Amino acid sequence: MTMKLSTDPSAATLLPIAKKEGIATVWDRHRAMQPQCGFGQLGVCCRICWKGPCRIDPFGDGPQRGICGADADTIVARNVIRMIAAGAAGHSEHGRHVALALQGVAEGRLPAYQIRDEAKLRAVAAKLGICTEGQDVPAIAAAVAKATLEDFQNQDHDAPCNWIEATLTKKRLERLQALHVLPHNIDAVITQIMGRTLVGCDADPVNLILGGIKGALADFDGMCLATELSDALFGSPTPVVTAANLGVIKPDAVNIAVHGHNPLLSEVVCEVAGQMDEEARKAGAKDGINIVGICCTGNEVMVRHGIPLAANYLSQELALVTGAVDAMVVDVQCIMPSVSEIGACFHTAVITTMAENKIPGATHVDFKEEAALESARRIVATAIEAYKRRDPRRVNIPDVKQTAIVGFGVESVVGALATLNAADPLQPLIENIANGNIRGIALFAGCNSTQVAQDSSFVTMAKKLAANNVLMLATGCGAGSFAKHGLMTQEATLEYAGESLKGVMTAIGTSAGLNGPLPLVLHMGSCVDNSRAVQVAVAVADKLGVDLDQLPLVASAPEAMSEKAVAIGTWSVALGIPTHLGTMPQVTGSAKVTELLTQTAKDLLGGYFLVELDPNLAADKLLEVIEERRKGLGI
Ligand code: BF8
Ligand code: SF4
């Protein structure tokens, strides 16, 4: 049986071309990898020391303990919390980078950056309890940066991180404090996970998972600060009409794909590209420079500036197969190492920019915030040079592109609601949830994975939830899926939303000046921007005087893959949110860990993992959860 690889129509055009050209893609390598290791899939393989590798026999015939005596429960728990630590490290390193940039701006050291959203900076300061009266913008920025960097430096175990304390409901903070899982210092918590999972340390699966939950909450802290400080520096998202899929690549432009996660790079590349447009035209590109996004960097510039999104995770290689990407500029995370080799099959310059993220075969242009403009100019000049080498006979841009209305941050959602009720913007949302016009809210997050036909689970689930009047938010590659499949349009709302949801979306959209409904799925941004959805949920919970685990709110990562998704999913559970996974988590080799995450968590935290690989059944199960929560609230 051949499994459908992708439901993205551009893949159908480009995969045969890749095949003809002898270019292997992620799907070819997936096939070559079959059958994948069953021990790894169950999480029962341990490589933590060199007496190993050890693996536990899941059928009970062979070894039930590793050479050191660790059993399946210990091994699985250690493996999964190391994944959480890695995910938290990725997000919070991104966050630290942004916080240091804010500090640099405050001190006047970074001419390429400024505070574009002063109101956001002030709001963040107020949230962190910083007094801003009589302070100028640099002083406020310095104080916000200092309070943020404390989350990486505080050594008082009893004092939780500033951002998490300023973000969650009081009840949630108390509940997490009682379990001793509130992080006090992001770096320390990540280090503790690595330390406690060394050979011969923590062997208690419950204790290990609690340590993992603390790490996941450190991940949440890092995501919150990354999102909010990026908004202060680059502007908070506002609704903007743009486009998605590989058809956004233009045949007559110098196409630069920005790929990765950190807006510090992509923002400056976008700005410099505007200044160098004439040079591109002189090189023969009559449409100048065209920036397109891939993965979460794509989402960052999409929601802030309406830059079109070319691809989500699984189609990053196909962007290169179009033969029309002149430069792919990458920073950190989710960049397939294969891109340099595929770029070399064409004229494409694959440019790495971060000292700690290099790829053999790529060109490295070191990017430092102090000299950001200079580096960005070198990058854009490299793209223009590469364009001159482009072979027009090898250009195959699929005629596939969808309109997408994106840019729904907390401020813009509240702003849209305020057009209905200026005095109490959340009231219309709460009223419509209470009266059942909106049954509940679902946050779609996470990646693509070769375990699922690309985008298929996202799309199937969204259509079913929409028909059942569930309001949907999305981030990351999930948002990319919906944008590419035309579900971020007003037409999609008219076509797929249930009657009552359609009515609410139309009322809000019309009153907010969109001349029609809100798009079916609201694009909140990149993966770190999952923190935006939490902020909306906290505001609603506070207004109702309840905690997050009482709201008819669910999360879903139907095509999850990355260690970052493991961290996000775990904090989502810790915040009290039922969290669906549509790919099999590598924990099922331990009945105890599986039970902890899918059942015990419900008693301890209110949230829990719900694993369902079939997207239709998954949507049904989430609808049941939403109804159960409604019943709990008596609505
Ligand atoms: O941070 S959704 S594949 S791009 S990990 Fe990666 Fe997954 Fe995409 Fe963004 Ni998030
Ligand atoms: Fe094997 Fe134990 Fe070493 Fe893991 S830590 S590889 S189970 S001996």
Q: pLDDT tens digit string along 145-162?
A: 999 999 999 999 999 999
- Confirm or reject: Cβ of 565 under 6 Å from ligand 1: yes
Domains identified in the chain and CATH numbers = 72-234 (1.20.1270.30), 246-394 (3.40.50.2030), 404-633 (3.40.50.2030)
Q: Is the CB of 68 under 6 A from ligand 2?
A: yes
The SS3 of residue 473 is strand
Which residue in the block uniquely carries the two structure tokens 């509240």?
414
- Neighbouring-strand partners of residue 55: 45
Sequential DSSP letters for 213-248: HHHHHHHHHHHHHHHHHHHHHH-----EEEEESGGG
Phi/psi region, residue 52 (left: phi>0; alpha: psi -120 to 50; beta: rest), is beta
Residue 230, pLDDT > 50, answer yes
Q: Are 567 and 83 in contact (CB under 8 A)?
A: yes
1 falls in which pLDDT band (50, 70, 90)?
A: very low
DSSP string, 19-76: HHTT---HHHHHHHTPSPPHHHHHT-EE-SSTT--EE--TTSSS-SB-TTS-BHHHHH
Average pLDDT value over all residues in the chain: 97
Cα of 90 to ligand 2 centre, how many Å? 26
Report the percent of the chain where pLDDT is more than 70: 100
DSSP 339: H
Residue type, 596: L
Give the Å distance between the CA of 446 and the centre of ligand 1.
6
Chain centroid offset of residue 603 CA: 27
Kindly report the length of the chain.
Answer: 635
For residue 441, give the DSSP letter.
Answer: E
Give the position, in ligand 1's atom list, of the atom nearest the Cα of 565.
Answer: 5
What CA–CA distance (Å, rounded) separates 504 from 429?
9
pLDDT at 2 over 90: no
- Residue 438 DSSP SS3: coil
Mean pLDDT of 36-42: 97
Which of these, 351, 352, 342, lies nearest to 394 by C-alpha position? 342
SS3 state at 475:
strand
In the predicted structure, residue 172 carries a pLDDT above the cut 70: yes
91 lines ligand 1 (CB under 6 A): no
Q: How far is the CA of 54 from the centre of ligand 2 (A)?
A: 6
Ligand 2 contact, 71 CB (< 6 A): no
Residue 53 preceded by cis peptide, ω within 30: yes
Query: Is 581 within 8 Å of 615 (Cβ atoms)?
Result: no
Q: Closest residue (by CA) to atom 6 of ligand 2? A: 52
Probe target for ligand 2 pocket from 44, 57, 198, 199, with the most ligand atoms within 8 Å of CB = 199
ipTM of the complex: 0.97
Res 193: pLDDT? 98
Residue with tokens 């995969």: 15
Show the 3-state SS of 524-582.
EECHHHHHHHHHHHHHHHHHHCCCHHHCCEEEEECCCCCHHHHHHHHHHHHCCCEEEEC
Q: How far is the CA of 336 from the centre of ligand 2 (A)?
A: 30
Nearest to 339 by CA among 315, 316, 357: 316
Kindly report, residue by residue over 287-323, the tens digit of the pLDDT: 999 999 999 999 999 999 999 999 999 999 999 999 9
> Ligand 1 mean position to 257 CA, how many Å?
16
Q: In whole angstroms, give the CA distance from residue 309 to residue 296.
A: 10
Q: Taking the CB of residue 375, how many other CB atoms lie within 10 A of it?
A: 22
pLDDT in tens, 402-435: 999 999 999 999 999 999 999 999 999 999 999 9
Would you state the structure tokens that stand for residue 280, as one six-digit string? 């591109």
C-alpha–C-alpha distance, residues 301 and 308, integer Å: 8
Sheet holding 240-244, edge to edge: 363-364, 349-352, 327-330, 254-259, 289-294, 309-311, 240-244, 402-406
Instruction: Look at residue 595 in the predicted model and tell me its pLDDT.
Output: 98
Using the mean position of ligand 2's atoms as its centre, give its distance from the Cα of residue 592 in Å: 19
Which of ligand 1's atoms lies nearest the C-alpha of 476? 2
Ligand nearest to the CA of 73: 2
Gap from CA of 47 to ligand 2 centroid (Å): 6
Mean pLDDT over 274-295 rounds to 98
Task: Determine contact, residues 436/500, Cβ cutoff 8 Å.
Answer: yes
For residue 56 and ligand 2, the question of a CB distance below 6 A is answered with: no
Share above pLDDT 90 across residues of the chain, in percent, rounded to a whole number: 99
Question: Are the C-beta atoms of 584 and 612 separated by less than 8 Å?
Answer: no
Rounded distance between C-alpha atoms, residue 223 and residue 161, angstroms: 13
Q: How far apart are CA 215 and CA 234, in angstroms?
A: 28
The one-letter amino acid code at 243 reads: A
Q: Cα–Cα distance between 531 and 554 in angstroms, integer?
A: 14
Cα of 78 vs centre of ligand 2, distance in Å, is 11
pLDDT digits (tens, 9 = 90+) for 334-373: 999 999 999 999 999 999 999 999 999 999 999 999 999 9
Is 267 a residue whose pLDDT tops 70? yes
Q: What is the pLDDT of residue 438?
A: 98
Q: Which pLDDT band holds residue 221 (cuts at 50, 70, 90)?
A: very high
Is the pLDDT at 71 greater than 60? The verdict is yes
Among the bound ligands, name the one nearest to the CA of residue 48: 2
The verdict on the CB of residue 54 being under 6 Å from ligand 2 is yes
Mutate to test the pocket of ligand 1, among 477, 529, 572 (most ligand atoms within 8 A of CB): 477
pLDDT at position 3 is 67
Q: Which of 83, 219, 220, 296 best tests ligand 1's pocket when mutated (most atoms within 8 Å of CB)? A: 296
pLDDT over threshold 80, residue 164:
yes
Residue-wise pLDDT for 104-159, tens only, equals 999 999 999 999 999 999 999 999 999 999 999 999 999 999 999 999 999 999 99
Q: What pLDDT, on a 0 to 100 scale, did the predictor assign at position 116?
A: 98
- pLDDT > 90? residue 87: yes
Ligand 1 centroid vs 356 CA: distance in angstroms? Answer: 19
